Structure 1
């Protein structure tokens, strides 16, 4: 299983926290029919994207990217010591994530920027860790980059009723003065850009990297399963705006179709990284 990729002058490392069964396919994708699932069951199982009970298999991971100038972590997974409704995530105490970071050759002090595609629970968890009973930034030297629209949305939601991941994994970073709220035109050096991809959440972004062109794109929760490249209109039950998500997904797939851009997905089963290729009126993400 490949955990390291090189493209242009980027080196990309996958840091896996969990690769596991998640939600039944027919529940996760409300537009999916039993017939369409049956047509795709064989290749989905072969790709380890679907288990024997028709439950989707997902990877929960971060990407650490070395550019010529910076070391950037994209999405910080689930985290430890945090009360969560999902049993596999609740009050975790394992060292899988930090061990994975170390195996890739990184210490928490090496990260210059943490970028979150959005602020859902499984993308912000390791933003903070518990130290002497307090949540502190896990990556002490990093600037944490949040899309302003996304941050404002969750600030509003949290004001109505506490949103646990925002309270324990985002606000402590703000209180520590380590965050930057940025617009969709934000760039880091000459290698890192933001691509607005709304739908899953109001301010969801993808992150594109490369000097002068998109050598790699980090798609976040624009899509969760390879089934959604073949059927871009299938949105998941967690999308705040399923119609917008479907439109964004097709537009994204068209943009990168038949290019050399590496598409680094958040949740596709390993190897999770591939190139988008056209297949009829749809697409596939071909492993490299």
Structure 2
């Protein structure tokens, strides 16, 4: 029986997920973040502030992390006052971010040595989905741990898949992001080719959406970002996207396969970063071809 939930990382996705947990889980929720603003907003939903990771671990038996990268997860878990130092048999730690597969499995072993449980449960979909509680979550965990976590995850997700044991959720999420990024590279090529051929790119994308090229990437990244040229900061950045494609390439190397599409996506993301767009919403890669005009 979960007595209290901790939530670390109250950023673009973490804040609405934590809010849904507080409103729907029926148990106390404690938040931890370096920024004050999200904690102040979440207080209205009943989320209480934990001053330190040690305090969070003392108060909570299930702790979710929504952090930018595997490096951040390791810092929170393995730092001097991190979760591993506090962990015992009552704890279940859940990584909601995208992290390297082997790093997740190694962390799981370290928590197991303390008697604690660990699960990888990376999220997919948009901030609006996080607000609405309709995220997709891919879980890597034992069957028993999944059964315990599923009702809690259901407070912020409408599609929850048990992909297998530890690391399986990360494999599926990394492949999800890889396919998405390769698709957006293709959309960038189609967009710039249509412009140079003298066509209205809006008409092109709307027509593609009526045919076999239709996709989530086309309707969201293509129509809502690339067509209007809207690439805000404080969204999923090009730097973060390249981090995720690097996880795909590392995974491919570990299973002895070359992924030429992923290599191309990595190259284009790198070119966008080199052009100064690393902090912008990552469909800004459309500018790479646009800037190649001669």
Q: Do the two structures share a fold, i.e. TM-score over 0.5?
A: no
TM-score by length of 2: 0.29
Higher relative contact order (CA 8 A, sep 6+): 1
Larger radius of gyration: 2
Q: Which has the higher helix share?
A: 2
Q: Which has the higher strand share?
A: 1
